[in-house]
Amino acid sequence: MRHVARFPIHDLALMKRRLLAWTDTYPIGACLDSNAQSEKSNQSWECLVAVGAADFFRANSGQAFAGLQAFYEQKKDWLFGFFGYDLKNEVEKLYSAHPDGIGLPDLYFFQPEIVVGIRPVELPPDGGFGGTARNGVAHLLEISSISMLPDAVFSAIQNTPVPKPATPAVTLMPRTAKQDYLATVEAIRQHIIAGDVYEMNLCQEFFAEKVQIEPQAVFVRLNERTRAPFAAFLRIEDRYLLCASPERFLQKKGTTVLSQPIKGTRRRHTDVQADARAREELRTSEKDRAENVMIVDLVRNDLSRNCLPGSVRVDELFGIYSFQTVHQMISTVSGTLRPGTHPIEALRDAFPMGSMTGAPKVMAMQLIEQYEQARRGLYSGAVGYFSPDGDFDFNVVIRSILYNAASGYLSCQVGGAIVYDSVPEQEYEECMVKIGALVASLGA
């Protein structure tokens, strides 16, 4: 049984920093931050934190989804964790043979001892509220704990010191030389011309070995620079994910599932007119629209496997969203689940997400294994949570730093969709745009 209590927040930014620091005091913990975009991104929480493993389930590709479903049915509680990209080998008859310097399992979920969430709340007409409010909205912190009483948890959070964000600079090395990447883009174009695929997501790894960083400090830098709506700090003992994702993989609220694939990226500019031109160029780009609509069709097909006939719809096509470092083209697809569909089943049948594979999906994944040089692992997987009422929300793990503190291996992967109209140099430049915030956060 969980003990639940709510507390007013007097300083939202400070509370978030304390929650992050408090999360990092546990060997197992997750901090999910919508960066004040919870309403725009249809999220239930402004920030959601889980620490301590009352129990956990980990597995590699094989029977991972079935094992998670049994764990889910046993607990019927909060579960936080991730799906790694290489679960593709369980969903389809595929394999992964590339090196992996991080060493996470393909799937990991834990039942947290303590869950802490921050919700925005509208002020009553008389304005009475114990916290700091802006524009008629304040925030409440909700604590749900199996062991400690909520008052004790709140006191522990309040007393957690917030360290200064300092960490040594890290220089990344490319696993794939630029000329080799350009040649690979052209090779994939030939597959498209031959009719093997219509679109393929090609990624490359930038890495460092035997480095020491302060993961919390790097995440603070990354999060302040990007303010992404699906940011995540995840610690599984000595493995870390520092994620600034703008993309949602799949959300379930009641009987509705919703996916928001991204295809189309432009760099932000400090000059207002140049920034407006970049945004308009993205909005009118036939190439980016073609990439986007191909993945929208793939997502519609994935959701249709478990949704009522006729219920899958495109709520928004080619939406242009501006974040702190990039403009993105985002579409929204939703549907109504058939009665009796298990949440794990809905996730499994849409995994891996089409925006990180291509179309047709299976052939795209075969070519990904053929042409990429590093195992994706958690990159292009999904991090998120299941709530006790059976809902869930998962991001797409992109714009991320993965770190193995035991070995000092650090990995950043970036990529983009290759289509017939792709120009190799432009695809490489898009990778550089995407990795820019990661490099800056590492102090390089």
pLDDT band at 126 (very low <50, low <70, confident <90, very high): low
Residue 131 has pLDDT above 50, yes or no: no
- Percentage of the chain modeled with pLDDT above 90: 92
**Per-residue confidence (pLDDT) for residue 124, from 0 to 100:** 63
**Per-residue confidence (pLDDT) for residue 147, from 0 to 100:** 86
Mean pLDDT over residues 328-345, rounded? 97
The mean-pLDDT minimum among 24-28, 35-39, 88-92 falls in: 35-39
Q: Is the dihedral of CA 190, 195, 201, 206 positive or negative?
A: negative
Task: Let me know the angle formed at the C-alpha of 145 by 343 and 76, rounded to the nearest 5 degrees.
Answer: 25
**Per-residue confidence (pLDDT) for residue 40, from 0 to 100:** 81
**pLDDT digit string (tens) for 265-281?**
999 999 999 999 999 99
pLDDT band at 164 (very low <50, low <70, confident <90, very high): confident
User: 316 forms bridges with which residues in the sheet?
Assistant: 332
What does R_g of the chain's alpha carbons equal in angstroms? Answer: 21
Q: HSE-up of 334 (CA within 13 Å, CB side)?
A: 13
Task: Let me know the angle formed at the C-alpha of 100 by 98 and 106, rounded to the nearest 5 degrees.
Answer: 100
Q: Are 101 and 407 in contact (CB under 8 A)?
A: yes
Q: Which residue has the higher pLDDT, 138 or 383?
A: 383
Q: Annotated catalytic residue: which of 263, 291, 361, 430? A: 263
Mean pLDDT over residues 150-171, rounded? 91
- Whether 316 is catalytic: no
Please name each of the domains of the chain with its CATH number: 3-441 (3.60.120.10)
- Whether 263 is catalytic: yes
**Per-residue confidence (pLDDT) for residue 1, from 0 to 100:** 85
**Which tokens sit at 8?**
């007013």
**pLDDT digit string (tens) for 74-117?**
999 999 999 999 999 999 999 999 999 999 999 999 999 999 99
Q: State yes or no: cis peptide before 163, omega within 30 of 0.
A: no
* Cα separation values, 240 from 62, 253, 266, 365, 391, Å: 24, 28, 28, 26, 25
Q: Annotated catalytic residue: which of 90, 199, 247, 430? A: 247
**pLDDT digit string (tens) for 350-400?**
999 999 999 999 999 999 999 999 999 999 999 999 999 999 999 999 999
Q: How far apart are CA 23 and CA 417, in angstroms?
A: 35
* Rama region for 310: left / alpha / beta (φ>0; ψ in -120 to 50; rest): left
**Which tokens sit at 108?**
């990991």
User: 397 forms bridges with which residues in the sheet?
Assistant: none
Arithmetic mean of pLDDT over the chain: 95
User: 140 forms bridges with which residues in the sheet?
Assistant: 8, 119
**Which tokens sit at 404?**
């193995």
